[in-house]
Amino acid sequence: MRIWVTSVLVDDQSKAMDFYTRVLGFTLKHDVPMGEHRWLTVVSPQDPEGTELLLEPSEHPAVKPFKAALVEDGIPATSFKVDNVDAEYHRLRSLGVAFAREPMDAGPVRMAVFDDTCGNLIQLVEMKAD
């Protein structure tokens, strides 16, 4: 069994696609119209056949209070692994990305948390043992 698709709930799919591709550097994998919304996935350019991230519309009534509670408590919606958190932090800051938590050590990882502009906090993780 493998993880094929995982999702992040976004307020605006077009805005999310721009942020996740242009700013974060993911590659568009699928953009399939589905009525009012789209099956919109991105992948890592380092692993184009790997796990897809679905930029899923946050239309369900339970989503808004759920996402608000996560953000209020500082809980990231998901995590992305990077080779160097500090370098990625500086790259993203130079592009105007707002960080909720600057790079810090946390046990076996170095981490930072940013706002994805679509209603989520996203964690960057660097494995210190790598």
pLDDT in tens, 7-17: 999 999 999 99
Percent over 90 (pLDDT), the chain: 98
Residues 30-49, mean pLDDT to the nearest whole number? 97
pTM: 0.94
For residue 85, the enclosing domain spans: 5-127
Structural domains in the chain (count)? 1
- 3-class SS shares of the chain: helix, strand, coil, % to 5: 25, 40, 35
Cβ contact 74:66 at 8 Å: no
Q: How confident is the model at residue 95 (pLDDT cuts 50, 70, 90)?
A: very high
Interatomic CA distance for residues 129 and 116, integer angstroms: 27
Element (H, E) at 34: strand 27-34
The enclosing domain of 120 has a CATH number of 3.10.180.10
Residue 130 has what pLDDT? 65
Q: Is the pLDDT reported for residue 116 higher than 90?
A: yes
- Give the pLDDT score at 129: 80
